[in-house]
Amino acid sequence: MLKLSWKGAMAHKGRLALMMIAVVLGVGFVAGTYVFTDTAKDAFDELLQQEIGDSVIVRQEIEFSASWDVGRVPASLLPAIEELPGVDRTLPFVQGWAQLLDKQGELIGGNGPPTFAMSWAEGMEELDPTRLVEGDIPRQDGEVAIDLYSAEQNDYMVGDTIDILTIEGVEEFKIVGLAGYGDMDNFVTATAALFDVETAQRVAGFDDEYSLIYVVAEPGVDREQLQAAVAGVLPEGTEAILSEVTIDEAQEEVDEIFGIFNRVFLVFGLIAIFVASFLIQNTYRIVVAQRTKELAMLRAVGATGAQVYWVVMAEALIMGIVASAIGIGAGVLLAVGLKVLLAAFGIQFPQGSLTLLPRTIIVGLIVGTVVTVISALLPARKASRVPPVAALREIQSTFFKSLRLRAMIGLGIVAAGVTALLVGLYADLGNGLLLTGVGAGVVFVGVSVIAPFFARYFGRVAGSPLPVADGVTGRLAQENAVRKPRRTAATASALMIGVALVTVIATLGATFKGTIEETVRDEVVAEYQVQVTGFGDPLSRGLSPDLAVELRSLPEVEVAAVYRSGEWRKPGTGGEETGAGPHFASSIGYLIAVDDDMDEVMRLDVSEGDFDDLGPNGVMLHETYAEEEGLSVGDPFSIEYPSGVVGEYDVVAIYGADLFGGGAASGDLIISMETFEANYDYELDQMVIIRLADGVDAEAVRPTLEAVVDGYPNAELNNAEEYIDKVGAQLDMMLNIVTGLLGMAIIIALLGITNTLSLSIMERKREIGLLRAVGMSRAQVQRMVYWESVLIAIFGAALGLSVGLALGVAVATAVGGLSITLPWVSLAVYALAAAIGGIIAAILPAYRGSRTDLLEAIAFE
Amino acid sequence: MTVLTDTAARVEGATKVFGEGDTAVRALDDMTVAFDRGRFTAIMGPSGSGKSTLLHCVAGLDNLTEGSAYIGDVRLGDLSEKQLTLLRRKSVGFVFQAFNLIPTLRADENITLPVDIAGEHPDEEWFNIVVRTMRLEDRLSHRPSELSGGQQQRVAAARALMSRPEIVFADEPSGNLDSKATDELLQFLRRAVDEFGQTIVMVTHDPIAAAYADKVVFLADGRCVGEMTGPTVESILDHMKALGG
């Protein structure tokens, strides 16, 4: 039996190869994701362990954080610490924001990763992975060392001068050295400008403060005792910790970042595998139908149905295992490729060998094999039911076992999926997203079950231009596409999944863009905004406050209001550790602080209370949040700040405006600038909103405004339209990445079309032979196959677009507060792309079909 | 030398070898035979005599190892693959033993298939004549799966005649039919020759079918071993007994 299975498999290498490719791609994606994240995590762990030296670190006590800021400690602490016995030396450290400018005056970096200004003192290399690659460390004002990557990318060498943008404006420095982090050329994608300690303080806007103080113990001194001693001289709100703690925190940070990356990519990998399972099941179904004679013969000579079942399953099992093993290898290659790709974009990781954990191998093998075996279950059962008599008679298996009944069952499945989906979206569950995903998957399965019911109608309608366009060639293609509705539907369904998902993305994208547009038009009364160029985390960059001051001084400007954002949380929602990096904890929210003339440039839509009451004791709540929390004007409200300090306030107003649609500032609450400055160290503004004086012409005054803005290289001036475009462009970029990731699923689906066509053409050998005999040219045969493929692809696209639109609207509605917009242009593009995909998928089968050996085809056995 | 214009198709010195060396098979062995225009010719012989091979080669479906095949005055060996395809479209009609029809097309669409492939409009008058001759008037809108074996073969014959080809080749057209259907089909083929001057060459092993022909050509071992004009079932059977086949 096993030998039979082996022979059966080897006899049809082509279809075997295609099925295996699908599994390899899916498993490769999953395995590659794991290998990539495991390797990166291990590399960072190693780096941190090796390069961070033993010391005691003095820093501000921070409860939670969503930024790279590590807080402040007063410089006045230094003498007290240095006097303690056992202290060999102290090393103050400053970390803030500064941006390098290239030789043309353009900003370097700032599109995503942070840009640091840091201090560097003699002896740092023992405590921190920062290392000097070339030249010397900066020792006085006017000197700077920059990261090696920025230098190489922008043609800077030791000895050159460089302009640097800081909170004080643009300043020129001399490059005395180039630095790296561990063995990386940049600071884990961030750029760095390193100064001596005093210059760093000035440039980063630290008044008599440091970010940290490293305390190195004398040889032989017990560090824990030293830690206790240091803690004794520290004021409230500051702490002394062992350097190991920062290693732990950093490792947690790394784990979290890569954990998220992992989960996201796994989702795409699982989608690819889901599509692959459609392909495999469809292929097996077709093959079982084609090998009916062979199977019947087995039965006729005495094999039981069960034995036939196991022959099919054995083949599936073997294929699954082999394909999964290859897939794991492919995954490793994928991880390597990804590393290389990212490096080309300046995203480097510490060196290290690839980490292939047993977990990855096990998961890869299990996922690939299980999917293959499950996909073969139903076809195997069908195979076991082939009666022996089929060996002697031509049994036409066109039993039209009610497609109607099947459609009903499919409807039921869809209903179940929709229920799961809605529960996931609306019920307040922990794993709501997972349920939504599962629900969507079930909906896909259900639609694919119903699909054969529609295949014929669709073929008739969508295929009607074909006979007109291409005569009998078109007519035959139209008929062929739907003569086996189950097969066509199964093939098209694989494509449906990919198309549906990209449609969901497009719908959400269009909706977000539409909403932003509406929001901005409704709420922004001002003519211009000044914002930071590029995009990135608002907590690690911003505009110098001097900019707003300058703009305000212009006679044409009536109001120039600014806002800033910061992270907060409700007191009592704890458990999150602090860290020197962004956390994605769901308990952390964002608030906005505004100037008191903000209501003159924005329509805040205050429904209760008064904006003017904000002051140092008030907060304003967004109406949705207020409703959720059951709060109204007059109620008390507490805010826990990153430092752990809890502020008590009164709710003074409820507002409705969905402020500032981009960035992290889709806030739930607003505080006054006074309150903000008292509790945060962020000194950069996020945006300046400008309202012009009465009678001033917006166009005419623009050059004047631009002149001011030009003095700040990281600021750009936009009017409402440009602002909308800018946000739209950011959204588009993200959407394109996601759409690209879904490409894998679509490629697998197209492979499925190729597969189905190849098998169908094999079946129709006689027919094609006949057509060629009566005079159909090879080109006509090819065209026939192309048309058929295009029809199948468009069927899949039609299903996908419909389901995708429905899903997209459902998700957008669940998110709430959005004005649903449908992405008509994208839909048309996707339909066209599907048609083209169909043509490409058909190239090989069409060629093979047209080369059908005439004689072989018409010879009667 | 026969006058060329009276010959619809012929082979001269035709040899066809399959395989190589020890396993080589000489399906046709230096055969020369001509098929008269406007006549119904049957080709008979035991299995392995090369009758199907002869048909394939003279119809342009296969090429000869040595010698030449002609349809009309056109030497098939001179034609490109594309030209052969066009030739088959316009000048040759086929009726095979089985699988003659496209299952997804209706009977009338199957009949006009070669004309549709050429992108031309079928001659309506001729279509009606052919359909009437084959007695298919009330089966036109049916798919092949809804037709009996005999009806399917008649549709195939109608298709073969539709483009008014120079010659119709039939390979065991009655092989799968019962005697009644065989009679019907052969009568229609006979009519096509008598009333419309069509040329038909038919390979068959059935003496009853061959008796409808004007001339029977006997093959054995890749060679032509005899001809018989005005055949009857008895005379054919006698001749075949004499041949030992």
Q: How does pLDDT run across A830-855, given as a tens digit for each residue?
A: 999 999 999 999 999 999 999 888 88
Minimal CA separation from A774 to chain B, in Å: 5
Q: Is the pLDDT of residue A861 over 70?
A: no
DSSP secondary structure of A622-666: EHHHHHHHT--TT-EEEEE-TTS-EEEEEEEEEE------STT--
CA dihedral B92→B95→B96→B100, nearest 10 degrees, is 110
- CA nearest to A467 within chain B: B116
pLDDT reported for residue A61:
87
Alpha-carbon distance of A83 to A85, in angstroms, equals: 6
Closest C-alpha to A668, from A614, A616, A591, A595: A591
Alpha-carbon distance of B188 to B155, in angstroms, equals: 11
Residue A717, helix vs strand vs coil = strand
CB B78 within 8 A of CB B84: no
- CA nearest to A774 within chain B: B89
pLDDT reported for residue B2:
47
Alpha-carbon distance of A266 to A274, in angstroms, equals: 12
Burial classification of residue A394, based on how many CB atoms lie within 10 Å of its CB (0-12 exposed, 13-18 middle, 19 or more buried) = exposed
Q: B102, A476: Cβ pair inside 8 Å?
A: yes
Q: Which of B61, B64, B85, B161 to mutate to test the interface with A (most CBs of A within 10 A)?
A: B85
Q: Which of A484, A774, A778, A788 to mutate to test the interface with B (most CBs of B within 10 A)?
A: A774
pLDDT-derived band of residue A119, with 50, 70 and 90 as boundaries?
very high
With vertex at residue A322, the alpha carbon angle to CA A316 and CA A326, rounded to the nearest 5 degrees, is: 140
pLDDT reported for residue A664:
34
Mean pLDDT value across chain A: 86
pLDDT reported for residue A828:
94
pLDDT reported for residue B98:
83
The 10s digit of each residue's pLDDT in A60-82 is: 988 888 778 888 999 999 999 98
For residues A107-112, average pLDDT: 82
Within 10 A of B74 (CB to CB), how many other CB atoms are there? 17
pLDDT-derived band of residue A582, with 50, 70 and 90 as boundaries?
very low
pLDDT reported for residue B3:
47
Q: Which residues fall within 8 angstroms of residue A774, CB to CB, at 6 or more apart? A: B88, B89, B94, B113, B114, B117, B159
> Can you give the pTM of this predicted structure?
0.84
The 10s digit of each residue's pLDDT in B83-108 is: 888 888 888 998 988 888 998 899 99
For residues B68-74, average pLDDT: 90
Q: Which residues of B touch A777 (CB under 8 A)?
A: 82, 85-86
pLDDT-derived band of residue A580, with 50, 70 and 90 as boundaries?
very low
Out of B99, B104, B105, name the one closest to residue A766 (CB).
B99
Q: Which of A397, A398, A400, A472 to mutate to test the interface with B (most CBs of B within 10 A)?
A: A472
Which residues 115-174 of B have a C-beta within 8 angstroms of A? 116-119, 159, 172
How many beta-carbon contacts under 8 Å exist across A and B?
Answer: 73
Q: What are phi and psi of B43, to 5 degrees?
A: -115, 125
Does an H or E element contain A524, and which?
A: none
CB B101 within 8 A of CB B155: yes
Q: What are phi and psi of A782, to 5 degrees?
A: -60, -45
Minimal CA separation from A790 to chain B, in Å: 19
Distance of CA A328 to the CA centre of its chain: 23
Mean pLDDT lowest for which of A316-325, A567-576, B131-140? Answer: A567-576
Q: Which residues of B touch A855 (CB under 8 A)?
A: 56, 61-62
Q: B114, A473: Cβ pair inside 8 Å?
A: no
Q: Does residue B237 belong to the interface with chain A, where contact is any CB pair within 8 Å?
A: no
pLDDT-derived band of residue A393, with 50, 70 and 90 as boundaries?
low
Q: B97, A483: Cβ pair inside 8 Å?
A: no
CB B207 within 8 A of CB B230: no
Q: Which residues of B touch A854 (CB under 8 A)?
A: 61-62
Q: Is the pLDDT of residue A575 over 60?
A: no
Closest C-alpha to A94, from A215, A186, A213: A213
Closest C-alpha to A858, from B106, B39, B80, B203: B203
Q: B81, A480: Cβ pair inside 8 Å?
A: no
Residue A171, helix vs strand vs coil = strand
In B152-189, which positions are buried (b, 16+ CB within 10 angstroms) versus exposed (e)?
Answer: bbbbbbbbbbbbebbbbbbbbbbbebeeebbbbbbebb
What CA–CA distances, in Å, run from B223 to A392, B33, B218, B220, B238? Answer: 36, 9, 9, 5, 20
Minimal CA separation from B241 to chain A, in Å: 27
Out of B100, B119, B172, name the one closest to residue A770 (CB).
B100
Q: B88, A774: Cβ pair inside 8 Å?
A: yes
Question: Two tokens at A158?
Answer: 């030791």
Comparing A377 with A305, the larger pLDDT belongs to A377
Alpha-carbon distance of B154 to A100, in angstroms, equals: 87
- CA nearest to B82 within chain A: A777
CB A563 within 8 A of CB A687: yes
What CA–CA distances, in Å, run from B75 to A360, B9, B11, B12, B79? Answer: 67, 10, 10, 11, 7
Within 10 A of A181 (CB to CB), how many other CB atoms are there? 22
CB A796 within 8 A of CB A487: no
Out of A479, A480, A773, name the one closest to residue B94 (CB).
A773
- CA nearest to B113 within chain A: A472
Residues of A with a Cβ under 8 Å from any B Cβ are 471-473, 475-476, 479-480, 483, 766-767, 770-778, 780, 854-855, 858, 860
Closest C-alpha to A666, from A561, A512, A527, A547: A512
The DSSP output letter for B19 is S
The 10s digit of each residue's pLDDT in A195-239 is: 999 999 999 989 899 999 999 988 888 888 899 999 989 998 899
Out of B61, B101, B105, name the one closest to residue A854 (CB).
B61
Alpha-carbon distance of A353 to A356, in angstroms, equals: 9
As beta bridge partners, residue A216 has: A89
The 10s digit of each residue's pLDDT in A609-641 is: 888 888 899 999 888 888 888 888 999 999 988
Question: Two tokens at A588?
Answer: 């952390």
Minimal CA separation from B157 to chain A, in Å: 12
Q: A476, B104: Cβ pair inside 8 Å?
A: yes
pLDDT reported for residue B203:
93
Sole residue written with tokens 């507060």: A817
What CA–CA distances, in Å, run from A577 to A62, A258, A540, A582? Answer: 9, 17, 20, 11
Q: Which residues of A touch B96 (CB under 8 A)?
A: 770, 773, 858, 860
Out of B62, B98, B102, name the one closest to residue A860 (CB).
B98
Q: B104, A483: Cβ pair inside 8 Å?
A: yes
B146-151: long-range contacts (C-beta < 8 A, 24 or more apart)?
A: B147/B107, B148/B181, B149/B176, B149/B177, B149/B178, B149/B181, B150/B177, B150/B178, B150/B180, B150/B181, B150/B182, B150/B184, B150/B185, B151/B107
pLDDT reported for residue A526:
87
Q: Which residues of B touch A772 (CB under 8 A)?
A: 85
The 10s digit of each residue's pLDDT in A694-731 is: 888 888 999 999 999 988 888 999 998 898 888 888 88
Minimal CA separation from B217 to chain A, in Å: 22
Closest C-alpha to A753, from A851, A843, A848: A843
pLDDT reported for residue A5:
57
Q: Which residues of A touch B116 (CB under 8 A)?
A: 471-472, 475
For residues B230-245, average pLDDT: 82
Q: How many CA atoms lie within 13 A of A517 on its CB side?
A: 14
The 10s digit of each residue's pLDDT in A657-698 is: 876 543 333 568 889 999 999 998 888 898 899 999 988 888
pLDDT-derived band of residue A805, with 50, 70 and 90 as boundaries?
very high
As beta bridge partners, residue A688 has: A530, A562
Question: Two tokens at A507?
Answer: 């719908």
Minimal CA separation from A483 to chain B, in Å: 8
Q: Is the pLDDT of residue A860 over 60?
A: no
Strands B40-44, B200-203: pairing kind: parallel
Q: B96, A483: Cβ pair inside 8 Å?
A: no
Residue A484, helix vs strand vs coil = coil
Alpha-carbon distance of A572 to A570, in angstroms, equals: 6
Q: A858, B113: Cβ pair inside 8 Å?
A: no
Minimal CA separation from A472 to chain B, in Å: 6
From its phi and psi, is residue A634 left (phi > 0), alpha (psi between -120 and 50) or beta?
left
Q: Does residue B18 belong to the interface with chain A, where contact is any CB pair within 8 Å?
A: no
Within 10 A of A83 (CB to CB), how many other CB atoms are there? 9
pLDDT reported for residue A163:
94
Minimal CA separation from B165 to chain A, in Å: 11
The 10s digit of each residue's pLDDT in A427-485 is: 766 677 888 889 999 999 999 999 998 898 899 899 999 988 888 999 999 999 888 88
Minimal CA separation from B1 to chain A, in Å: 31
From its phi and psi, is residue A808 left (phi > 0), alpha (psi between -120 and 50) or beta?
alpha
